[in-house]
């Protein structure tokens, strides 16, 4: 019996329950499908059929979203290896803020410079850009976790009209909790602060830059810290 073949992003219909979806992975007879809602499911190819023209049209938005997610995933992977691309994405991010809130973008750029002076401006190692998603765009500072032996996100900056910063509790220096008064951020793993730029003067910014400086000074004192991948 000849095995049915499907291409990635092909609109398909489950022949048993008539549910529609889009092919996201093919492994021989096993076809993984992203339905319109819910988690991905894997079926044997024999239980799937190409969607009709009308059904395919109803799945076009899902196909577009899946392609964009894959494009962003590949872009993020490439950016991690190319500091120039990371800087380019950062500039796009700041310009996007400036288009709506010019003064906020200016204040954010000043603060970012202070953070770079504290952490070290090494794109791909001390910081990178999150994948360009609508959920959490923006730059993140990275830190080496001694227990897991992996580079992980330390401080996330979600910038727009105002600025929200989220920091992993494991990296927060003792006595600095008041700088991040919102507890249970990052699904309980971090603390956060929400700031308004007009009140974020150099004097108020300094404690945050000092906090980052302490964090990175601590990791520099640790032996055998590998470069970020």
Report pLDDT digits (tens) over 128-170. 988 655 555 689 999 887 777 777 889 999 887 789 999 999 8
Residue 75 lies in a domain: no
Concatenated DSSP letters for 149-207?
TEEEEEEEEEESSSEEEEEEGGGPPTT-GGGS-EEEEGGGTEEEEEE-GGG--HHHHHH
Looking at the whole model, is its pTM more than 0.75? no
CA 105-111-114 angle, to 5 degrees, is 145
- Residue 89 in domain: yes
Supply the pLDDT for residue 200: 84
State whether 113 and 213 are in the same domain: yes
Domain count along the chain: 2
Mark whether 18 and 111 lie in a shared domain. no
Identify the CATH number of the domain in which residue 19 sits. 2.30.30
Quote the crossing angle between the two packed helices 83-100 and 60-80, to the nearest 10°: 120
| In a shared domain, residues 59 and 122 | no
* Structural domain containing residue 55: 11-70
Q: Report whether 128 contacts 140 (CB < 8 A).
A: yes
For residue 139, the SS3 value is strand
Q: How far apart are CA 199 and CA 181, in angstroms?
A: 16
Question: Domain for residue 165, yes or no?
Answer: yes
Q: Domain check: are 146 and 201 in the same one? A: yes
Domain boundary residue, one of 30, 48, 70: 70
Q: Which tens digit of pLDDT belongs to each residue from 36-79?
A: 888 899 999 999 999 999 999 999 999 999 998 887 777 666 55
Same domain? For 25 and 54 the reply is: yes
Query: Do residues 49 and 87 both lie within one domain?
Result: no
- What are the pLDDT digits (tens) for 93-114? 899 889 988 988 899 999 999 9
Query: Which tokens go with 78?
Result: 């490439």
Per DSSP, 123 falls in state B
Q: Is residue 3 part of a domain?
A: no
Q: With contact defined as beta carbons under 8 Å apart, do 61 and 33 qualify?
A: no
225 in a domain, yes or no? no
Is the same domain home to 97 and 49?
no
């Amino acid at each position: 019996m000849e095995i049915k073949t499907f291409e990635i992003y092909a609109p398909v219909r489950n022949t048993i329950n008539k549910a529609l979806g889009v092919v996201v992975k093919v492994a021989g007879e096993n076809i993984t499908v992203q339905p319109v809602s819910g988690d991905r499911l894997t079926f044997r190819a024999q239980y799937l059929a190409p969607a009709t023209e009308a059904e395919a049209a109803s799945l076009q938005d899902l196909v577009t979203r899946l392609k964009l997610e894959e494009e962003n995933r590949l872009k993020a992977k490439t950016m991690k290896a190319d500091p120039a691309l990371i800087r380019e994405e950062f500039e796009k991010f700041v310009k996007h803020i400036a288009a709506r809130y010019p003064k906020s973008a200016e204040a954010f750029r000043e603060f970012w410079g202070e953070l770079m002076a504290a952490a070290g401006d090494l794109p791909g190692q001390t910081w990178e850009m999150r994948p360009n998603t609508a959920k959490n765009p923006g730059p993140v500072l990275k830190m080496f976790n001694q227990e897991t032996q992996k580079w992980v996100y330390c401080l996330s900056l979600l910038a727009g009209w105002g600025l929200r910063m989220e920091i992993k509790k494991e990296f927060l220096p003792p006595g600095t909790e008041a700088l991040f008064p919102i507890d249970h951020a990052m699904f309980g793993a971090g603390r956060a602060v929400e700031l308004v730029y007009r009140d974020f003067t150099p004097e108020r910014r300094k404690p945050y830059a000092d906090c980052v400086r302490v964090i990175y000074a601590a990791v520099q004192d640790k032996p055998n810290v590998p470069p970020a991948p």
